[in-house]
Amino acid sequence: MATALIGATLFDGTNLRDGLAVLIEAGKIAGVMPEAKLPKGVEKQAISGLLAPGFIDVQVNGGGGVLFNETRSIAGIAAIGAAHRRFGTTGFLPTFITDTQASMAEAIKAADAAMQARTPGVLGIHLEGPFLNPERKGIHRADLMRSIGDDDVAMIDLPAGGRVLVTLAPEKTEPSAIARLTKSGVIVAAGHTKADVATIRRAQAAGLTGITHLFNAMPPLMGREPGPVGAALEDKALWCGLIVDLHHVSAVSLRVALAARGPERMMLVTDAMPSVGSDAARFELLGEHIKLVDGALVNDAGTLAGSNLDMASGVRNTVRHLGVPVEDALRMASLNPATFLRLEQELGRIAPGYRADLVLLDADFHVKATWISGARQDEVK
């Protein structure tokens, strides 16, 4: 049966609009129209607030007390997705960080199984490593990092109907390997890297399209050595993930990046860990003790270990602390990542034919409700 959401201000992916109803049928947007023009017999659901396309997070390590590296299963992915739905995320890539090849194979199989089971919100998988530069390891284990081999390329297959994002260090990866990945449909981004601009550009020519968590796990922009940051800020074709928790990157640096690039190919990501959506203030990460200190997740040495950020807070921080217009911040959380994942014809807009993945926000960008494929999601207790 068709239903219509009425009464909210609507952000359709481009503009803020008032006085419109959103008609949902069979999990998709069937129409956007004045309430008076709704078909007869439609069930109306009155809502209030700001209705926007659901958030899409391409970097989610965990949530709800679950870490994907440790719980490589449909149940683990489902628990992570349920935790993040409370904060407006209706689409996500469970992210598997540097680990053994056998564990990575299990993670890929789990993501494929989750896609086949239609686990709410899952869009594929993000493999952040192990093809990284140990000199820019961050919290990753350097002893598990390695160059990509033919068997890895063969193993990195697309989940059923889903997307695969691979973060790698271009200086540690031959362009031919990047080309093989991208030719098979894999999306490739640079991260945990100290590549110079020329190396980034060669990787782009081979198919690389993104930069994972800009500024983090890479050298700073220098006058004679612009590195990955300079490569990203110069070329507006690259998609850049931004962790706007104000711990990973200062507000000043984020504002500079947005001034240089604009918001068009900037994406909000969380890099979230199990603490998001749970009461857990401590957890284990590949043998490291991680604790929450003043809003940041760190190991015993003080190294950042992912984030305690959710997407709604990321949007709020982007508007409040970076001075980004609401429309741009919402696009950075929805349509931009959808386009990066080549899902812009299905997700990121409230328009006829699009999947009815939605988030309802209050004036302070707190989540009041979410919908995935038109089904309203119950809040996770």
Q: What residues act catalytically?
A: 271
Residue matched to tokens 């601009």 = 197
Q: Which two tokens stand for residue 214?
A: 């800009």
Number of Cβ atoms within 10 Å of the Cβ of 164? 23
DSSP string covering 213-241, please?
A: STTTTSPPP-SS--HHHHHHHH-TTSEEE
Indicate the SS3 state at residue 45.
Answer: strand
Query: What are the angstrom distances between the C-alpha of 50 and each of 21, 279, 297, 332, 353?
Result: 12, 28, 31, 16, 21
In angstroms, rounded to a whole number, what is the distance separating the alpha carbons of residues 66 and 274? 5
**Best CA proximity match to 297, nearest among 311, 317, 276:** 276
- The set of long-range contacts for 188-192, using a CB threshold of 8 Å and a minimum separation of 24, is 189/165, 189/239, 189/241, 190/228, 191/128, 191/132, 191/167, 191/217, 191/218, 192/128, 192/129, 192/132, 192/133, 192/136, 192/137, 192/138, 192/140, 192/167, 192/217, 192/218
